[in-house]
Amino acid sequence: MNDIYVTGHRNPDTDSIVAAIAYANLRHAMGERAYRAVRLGSVNDETQRLLDRFGVEAPPLVKNLRTQVADIDYDRTPALNGSVPLDLAWRTMRECEVSVVPVVGDGGELFGMLSAGDIAAYDMQTITQNRVDNVPLFNLLSVLEGTLVNELNCTASDVSGELYIALPQNFADPALTNPDTILICGDQPEIIERAIASGVGCLIICRAGIKPAWADAPASTCVISTPLSARRVSRIIYQALPVERIVEKKEIVAFRLGDYLDDVREIMLKSRYRSYPVLNGENKVVGTISRFHLLRPRRKRVVLVDHNEAAQSVPALDQVEILEIIDHHRLADIQTTAPIRVRNEPVGSTNTILTAMYQERGVVPSAQIAGIMAGAILSDTVMFKSPTCTKRDIAMAERLARIAGVSLEEIGHELYAAGSTDGKSAEELFRADYKQFHISEQNIGVSQITCVDADHLLARRDEFLSVMLDLKEKQEFDLIILMITDVLLEGSHIFYVGSDDTIQQAFNKTPHDHYLFLKGVMSRKKQIIPMLTALWG
């Protein structure tokens, strides 16, 4: 629950994945182990080749960071076995300051929920009762703080009978000789000896000395000695009943640690219970939750890297606490409830910024981390050919390459290895590096595929346009663009679905049949989005 998640954008590219890994690694080197790199989408082939090249594992996938039951301070109420006495359940409620405790079976499975109201209702019923049935002997001894005087002879495992308190004037009472009697007495040797001799079912001796002869009482009689008064015994004996006897047998509404609070809230609104059991992945009870716990939930803490736009970020962003943003894109629409650290610099790669942060803190990345960071800078600057590339990007990449002991040229060729798109569907290729943008009431989506030979991708034109048209209609986008960026040609082939006029006005070039080639256009964020922003702004 103390984890701080470091994540890039949805449909992450190499810079996004590596930035999350690098920043978490930097924090770990500084002794802050709570930071955990995660990803919001699948790892594309380019990124996987880079990670494999340096032996680094991809971050685990998280579908969303919505607040879950595990994130809140639910009550860690102990779960009681169904065999424990009501007295112990009541003391547990008082010590834990709760009004409900879970009851479990021998295997730890949920049996029921016991409330203070259940105990009170049972206690009121005993006012008109004068009998207990099948109370386990162990429970009775525990509640009475007693000892079994004739433990070597007694064979009983539970106790039943009518309750009587022995008084001097009822010495001749027939109940003293009835096996179905539980007799409570004080320092009354004559009555005690008569009851033992007559075979009374259970004899409870309160605050009295015990004669050695009483230890030889027959097996059919339980002789118990207790330091409690006769009056207290007459009341507390009912609290020796196992809790499972009064737990109502019905379907139980329970929640699991992985359940989302939105769903939990909806279910609670439809039920009348005050408290609900919380189960872990093994269906074992770990605590209880009530409406009170939903008022101020503890949100997951997140650091965003390589993006600062809600549409590109983690789903249910309003449910997380953003601690920090490290990015190299335009400032967008993410809002926070409190001041945070933001580092946004006009460079070609988030990893360029992170390299500077390593330097500022005096931390030298390992050869593995330095290698993937260098590769990420090469990827996001398209081997330094993108207009977003700066002298700092080149300098930082060269510095990282020296630490990793590798050649930038070698890494670059591995990143854009031929044949990496073979066997993939058009939709898989399109979504590998796809981002959504909201510009002046316009919803657009832009995907980018970078390669060293675009011919095999251009041949799949109809497949791509079909995917894009379907996406536009289903999600009601105004414009969908696919950039196929050719590193060798230093330009991008553009497929689009949307207004021809929009494309012509934005890029000052006439398209033909949903296609045009833009020489020198290598960057989505610096050459595509700004043109559309200027047009619609």
The predicted-structure confidence for 436-452, as pLDDT tens digits, reads as follows 988 888 899 999 998 88
Report the C-alpha gap between 530 and 505 in whole angstroms: 13
Report the C-alpha gap between 17 and 24 in whole angstroms: 11
Q: Cβ of 20: how many Cβ atoms within 10 Å? A: 30
Residue type, position 58, single letter = A
* Residue ranges making up the domain that contains 378: 4-67+299-415
* Cβ-based neighbours of 487, under 8 Å, separated by 6 or more: 382, 383, 385, 416, 450, 451, 452
431 and 374 assigned to the same domain: no
Q: Would you state the pLDDT for residue 2?
A: 80
Q: 471: domain CATH number?
A: 3.10.310.20
As a whole number of Å, the CA-based R_g of the chain is: 37
407 and 438 assigned to the same domain: no
Q: Could you say which of 371, 394, 415 is where a domain stops?
A: 415
Domain assignment present for 376: yes
Domain assignment present for 258: no
pLDDT digits (tens, 9 = 90+) for 109-126: 899 899 888 999 998 988
Domain assignment present for 337: yes
Return the closest-CA partner of residue 522 out of 331, 378, 344, 351: 378
Tell me whether residue 110 is exposed, middle or buried, using C-beta atoms within 10 angstroms of its C-beta: 0 to 12, 13 to 18, 19 or more: middle
Domain assignment present for 172: no
Q: Would you state the pLDDT for residue 73?
A: 86
Return the closest-CA partner of residue 299 out of 314, 309, 282: 314
402 and 431 assigned to the same domain: no
Tell me whether residue 511 is exposed, middle or buried, using C-beta atoms within 10 angstroms of its C-beta: 0 to 12, 13 to 18, 19 or more: middle
Helix, strand, or coil (residue 356): helix
Return the closest-CA partner of residue 254 out of 267, 236, 235: 267
pLDDT digits (tens, 9 = 90+) for 307-357: 999 888 988 888 899 999 999 998 888 888 889 999 999 999 999 999 999
> How many structural domains compose the chain?
2
Domain assignment present for 25: yes
4-7 sheet: strands from edge to edge? 35-38, 4-7, 300-305, 320-327, 341-344
Domain assignment present for 37: yes
Q: Would you say residue 170 has pLDDT above 70?
A: no
Q: What's the whole-number mean pLDDT along residues 352-368?
A: 97
Q: What's the whole-number mean pLDDT along residues 2-27?
A: 95
pLDDT band for position 419 (cuts 50, 70, 90) = very low
| pLDDT higher at 502 or 297 | 502
Report the C-alpha gap between 222 and 151 in whole angstroms: 8
Q: What's the whole-number mean pLDDT along residues 485-498?
A: 92
pLDDT digits (tens, 9 = 90+) for 236-254: 999 999 999 988 767 789 9
Q: Would you state the pLDDT for residue 367?
A: 97
DSSP-assigned beta bridge partners for residue 288: 75, 277
Domain assignment present for 458: yes
pTM of the complete model: 0.68
Rounded (10°) CA dihedral 154, 159, 160, 162: 80
H or E segment at 536?
Answer: helix 529-536
* Cβ-based neighbours of 63, under 8 Å, separated by 6 or more: 40, 315
Domain assignment present for 173: no
